[in-house]
Amino acid sequence: MPASQSRRERPAKPALTREGIIDTAVKLMEQEGLQRVTMRRLAQALDTGPASLYVYLANTAELHAAILDRLLGRVDLDVTLAGADWRGRLDAVLANYEEVLFAHPALARSALVARPAGGNYLALLETLLALLAEGGVPDLQAAWGVDVLLQTATASAAEHSARREDSNAEQDWNQLRQALAGASPDVHPHVRAQADNLVSGTPAERRRWGIDTLLNGIQATTPQSW
């Protein structure tokens, strides 16, 4: 019996690869949330020490970016809504993008800062640019527009998913409602008058309006116009 087979308590430990590490990281995130995907825990899941991961990943930020790009692969870019025009399809893609991020607030937050540069992000950009082109949006406006569209969708996902996950975020929200409703009509007349409007609408309604607003603005606003 060769020495390599003498101890077989666990399934053969697979060789470390960047892909394999990220696979495990995604699984770990799905089971325990991104906040549990630390270098140490990930190493433990891979049956090694944390130092080993630094052969494949420069730091935690790079790990999170890699996880994000993996997740972006789940966004359905081939939405074929029967009879939907380009706006309807663009809305569907962004809604789906938000849904994917919605499951992982911390990831959405990191997406706002560390732009992914992976293949799946490129594919998402391509789809959005194609839809804007189909809608006759001039090139530069479309290019700058996708940025704002994605930024809004990402921020939205970060906010709403955090509100669901952290009980603190929900408390913050209630505190804000109270502060708005209790605003003095003398000091903050507009806030007071608009207290209800400021918190009205479902997340879906807000998103829908936000995207529509952005699209209307993007179509109407030439960068050189001022």
- Please check whether residue 135 is in contact with residue 84, taking contact to mean a CB–CB distance below 8 angstroms: no
Picked from a second copy, DNA, none, the partner binding residue 120 (CB below 5 to 8 A depending on kind) is: none
Q: Among residue numbers 102 through 141, which ones bind a second copy (CB under 8 A)?
A: 105, 109, 112-115, 117-118, 122-123, 125-126, 129-130, 133, 139-140
Picked from a second copy, DNA, none, the partner binding residue 36 (CB below 5 to 8 A depending on kind) is: DNA
Residue from 128, 169, 170, 130 nearest 151 by CA = 128
Q: How far apart are CA 8 and CA 6, in angstroms?
A: 6
Binding track over 30-59 against a second copy, x by CB under 8 A: ----------------------------xx
- Please check whether residue 110 is in contact with residue 157, taking contact to mean a CB–CB distance below 8 angstroms: no
Among 40, 115, 190, 206, binds DNA (CB under 7 A): 40
Please say whether the dihedral angle defined by the alpha carbons of residues 11, 17, 20 and 26, taken in this order, is positive or negative. Answer: positive
Q: How far apart are CA 180 and CA 2, in angstroms?
A: 73
- Using the rule CB under 7 A, is 41 a contact of DNA? yes
CA 218 to chain centre: 22
Most distant CA pair in the chain, distance: 87
- Using the rule CB under 8 A, is 14 a contact of a second copy? no
Binding track over 162-201 against a second copy, x by CB under 8 A: x---x-xx--xx-xx-xxx--x---xxxxx-xx--xx-xx
- Using the rule CB under 8 A, is 73 a contact of a second copy? no
The residues that touch DNA, with contacts defined as CB under 7 A, are 15-16, 36, 38-41, 48-52, 54-56, 59-61
